[in-house]
Structures are given as C-alpha cells and as structure tokens.
Structure 1
Amino acid sequence: VINLRSIKPLDRATIIESVRRTHRVISVEEGWPQHGVGAEIAALVQEEAFDELDGPVCRITGAEVPMPYATDLEKAALPSVENIVRVVRRELNK
C-alpha cells in the first residue's frame, strides 16, 4: 500500500518498484475515473513497467456523476470499504 495523498511530486520510483514486487496495481480515489491520480498511475505503469503486470491496472473511483450534497447520495457516489474489499479480493484471486 502506497499512500500518495501527500507525495508531490509523484514518487514514480516507489510506484514502479511496487509493481515489480507485486505485479499488480489497484488504485483507490474519490475523484472521477478520468483525469485523476489513478489515471496518471495507470499511464506511468503502462509506460515504464507494463511487462511486470500480471493483469490490467484496476482503478476504484467515485461514480461518474456530479457530486451530490445529500449524505446518502454522497455515500453511494464514493468508493466504500465494502466495494474496495470486494474488488481487491476479486483481483487477487485471479
């Protein structure tokens, strides 16, 4: 697990080393699927460590909808712990 929240500039070497060690990438972010840090990580890995991957880069993101103000709708639009665990288990059991 690499927490990129406070790493600027993006620690490319750490990401690539992790891919070489684990052969997988799963990114999680609250933002939309396009133009986020997960997309940048996917591009980096594709450019510099594609042959190290055992499968495609998996991105868990917020829903492709305008961010709602209602609490219940906001919870539905953001990645949940349950969804993250489900996707990670699915990806690791391939």
Structure 2
Amino acid sequence: MNGPIEQQATVAIADHHGGGLHILDPITGYLAAQGLKVLSLPTWPTTEAIATHLAQVTQELLPELTLTGLLVREGSANQARWTPDTVAVSS
C-alpha cells in the first residue's frame, strides 16, 4: 500500500508529529511502518476517546497517582475533559 492517500497521510502525520487511528484502519500499519507516531485505539479516535485512553494509561503506569481529571484540547474549538466520575465530555 503506497498510493496517493497513503502518501498524503504520511505527510500530514509527519507535519503534525503523530496521528490517532482506529486499530482496524487499514492505513495504521502502513504509517507505523514508515516510522511515524500512530496512536491505535479500539474505537474511533475522537477527542473523548483519546482523553479516556490517556487517563487509563496514566492510571496503569502511575497507580500511586490519584488522577482527578484530564483535559485534551484539539485546536482552539474542541476539547474533552475526563474525570473519574464521568466519561469524557466534549465542550
């Protein structure tokens, strides 16, 4: 797989330092093989899903830490906040 779409995705991710994709997205393996940073999620990589994933990984890696909240911003108009009591919420 090395057509125009793959080439455009490679340039876009390289220019933006990484990308998030569904684990079953067929381009995920190709981009990883190019040495690009790819976050593979078992769900669509929405801002809410990324906030939830980062919170879960943080809790796994730092179990002694009490994580009270996590904020992920995507540009100036979209963000998701995770707290232990709620699923990530967009704003």
TM-score clears 0.5:
no
TM-score under structure 1 length normalisation: 0.28
Say which structure is richer in strand: 2
Bigger radius of gyration among the two: 2
Say which structure is richer in helix: 1
TM-score under structure 2 length normalisation: 0.28
